Amino acid sequence: MRIRASLTAATISGAVALTALVAPAAQAADDPAGTAAKMAPFSAKAPADETVGDTTITKVTVNGNKDVVVGTGQKSFNIYVTATDPSGIYSAGAYLWHGTSLDPDNPDVDGLLYTDADATCDNWSATSATCKITITATSDDLYDSALNGKWNVAAWAVGNDADYVEKDVYKNHWVKRAASFSGFNAGPEPVAKGKAITVTGTLKRASWSYGKYYGYGSQSVQLQFKKAGSSTYSTVKTITSSSSGYLKTTVTASADGTWRFHYAGNSTSSVADAYDYVDVR
């Protein structure tokens, strides 16, 4: 993988900066703005996967455990880090990185999603806290469509007594390109019972490389129907998008209800749905 010059300084650090980790409780009181904690991803000398003392990370949740889906604009999401230490938690943080190594001597990183803003920590006991980190992904961060897929989640936490824990890869998380439908239509409407309904639309997917949506070809899409008064959809048939993403199929009108194209997504692309209600007479 290639390393962008703008990412190098931020990614050769490992999971957390020593400047944050060595801050004792007294220093925390002198640093109300959290400057030390903000430095977390940016020290070139931080070791990887290290625990000093009895600080532990018990849970990391990224975007509510849902995929981070990004189109051609910005996408903000939250990471929550829960940690414990007998002395209490001074701060914690996390960020996402794409690549194979944060080794400062041999880094292999081509994507980074982070923030330099302070985490907001809720000290819900004398020994535990949950810290919220808000990250906004932009086109500068996701500059290449090849970055879609599985990312690493680095996490760290610091106790009030300067104990700390850091993990380059605490867990993994999916960052995907947004998929959507354009020109979706089921018709004619109204339609006589027993007559044909033609359903058309185009499946598209965001290109991070070019900043626009393109037709997404050779993808399986389900045509589903929900009868008026029902709360569930049933799959009527599965069709495949053309090389340009175009879809067209016909069904027989039997009852009022909503037709939809449902794309289940894959390891690089999000789920997508499009809906149209048809009145059958």
Domain ranges (residues) in the chain:
5-176, 179-278
Phi-psi region of 99 (alpha: psi -120 to 50; beta: other; left: phi over 0): left
105 confidence band (pLDDT: 50, 70, 90): confident
Q: Judge whether residue 274 has pLDDT over 60.
A: yes
If one looks up domain 179-278 in CATH, what number appears? 2.60.40.730
The token duo for 114 is 């982070």
The pLDDT value recorded for residue 103 is 85
The token duo for 58 is 């018990």
For tokens 């209600």, name the residue.
Answer: 277
Contact 264, 222 (CB under 8 A): yes
pTM of the model: 0.83
Percent of the chain with pLDDT over 90: 79
The token duo for 131 is 């810290």
Question: How far, in Å, CA of 248 to CA of 262, rounded?
Answer: 13
Q: Point out the least confidently predicted range of 16-25, 44-53, 66-75, 163-172.
A: 16-25
Contact 188, 175 (CB under 8 A): no
- Fold (topology level) of 5-176: Immunoglobulin-like (2.60.40)
Q: Judge whether 5-176 and 179-278 match in fold.
A: yes
Query: Burial letters for 69-106: b for 16+ Cβ neighbours within 10 Å, e otherwise?
Result: bbbeeebebebbbbbbbebbbbbbbbbbbbbebbebee
**Cα–chain-centroid distance for residue 182?**
23
107 versus 204: the higher-pLDDT residue is 204
Q: Computed from CA positions of residues 8, 135, 71, 240, in that sequence, does the dihedral angle turn out positive or negative?
A: positive
For tokens 């390109």, name the residue.
Answer: 177
